[in-house]
Amino acid sequence: MAGLLPLQLDQKTLLEENLKILRKTDPAVAGILGKAAHTAVYSFKQETSTWERKDTEGPFFIVERRPSQAKPSRFGMMILNRLNATNFVQPIHRGVQISVSDPYVIIQTKSEVLGFWFQNAEERNTITGLIQKSLQFAYQVSAPQQQPPMSATQQQMASQHLMSLIQGGTGGQGAGVGGASRGAAGQPKQLSADEVELTKPQLQAMLIRMLQDDRFIGLLHQQYVQSLRKRRGGEGR
C-alpha cells in the first residue's frame, strides 16, 4: 500500500497544476470532472462536405464553472492546446448538440460542427457521458419557469405518440392525437388535448431521451431502410 502513495500524490499534484493552467484561460473554473490524455480536433466544412484538421490538440477536460451573468454555463469543455497558445473553450449549454460516430465525438453549435478524435476509447466514452449529463443539467436549469415538467404518464403517452408517427400511424398501441390509451381496467381512455400536446421545450427533452433509447433508434433505422427500399423499387419500374 505504501508504494501507491507517491503515485496518488503525483496525480493530485498534476490535477492542481492542470487547474492552475485552465484558470488562466477561464478564471471561473472550479474543478475538473473528467479528462482525456489526448484529443485532436477536426472542423466540418459545409461548402465541401469535408473534414479539416484544426491546429488544436492536447489534453481534453470537462470542467465545472462558477456561473456568472456574462458566462452563465455551469459546465464546459476545454483543451490545453499543444500546437499554439490558443486553448479550446466550449461552454456546455442548450445550443450544443452531441453525437458519436466511432471513433469520433461530434459537437455541433450554432456556428460550427467539430469532430474530436480521442486516443483512448475508454476516455472517449467517459467524456461523452459527462457531456451528455452536463447537457441534461443545462436543459433542466434553463427550462422556462412557466413550463411544468411532464409527469410519467405524459412522458409515456408522448413517447408512444412519437413512435406511432414514425411508424406511419396516428394511434398504434399507444396514444395518438385524439386516440385512446388503455386504462387500469383495460378499457379505452379518451385523451384530452393537454395530455398529448407538448410544448417545444418538452418535445426537445423528449426527443433527447428517445435518441438515447436503442429501441427507438432501431425502429427509426428500420423505417428508414424500408422507405429507402420502397423508393428504389419505384425507381426501378
The set of cell numbers assigned to 24 is 488562466
Q: Which long-range contacts (CB under 8 A, 24 or more apart) does 197-202 make?
A: 198/150, 198/158, 199/147, 201/139, 201/143, 201/144, 201/147, 202/147, 202/150, 202/158
Domains of the chain, by residue range, sit at 23-142, 152-235
**Residue 2 corresponds to which amino acid?**
A
211: left (phi over 0), alpha (psi -120 to 50) or beta: alpha
User: The domain 23-142: what is its CATH number?
Assistant: 2.30.29.30
Q: What tens-digit pLDDT sequence spans the chain (237 residues)? A: 444 445 455 777 888 899 999 999 999 999 999 999 999 999 999 888 899 999 999 999 999 999 999 999 999 999 999 999 999 999 999 999 999 888 899 999 989 999 999 999 999 999 999 999 999 999 887 654 444 555 555 555 656 665 565 555 444 443 333 333 444 444 434 444 344 455 666 666 667 767 766 776 777 777 777 777 877 776 665
The set of cell numbers assigned to 87 is 486553448
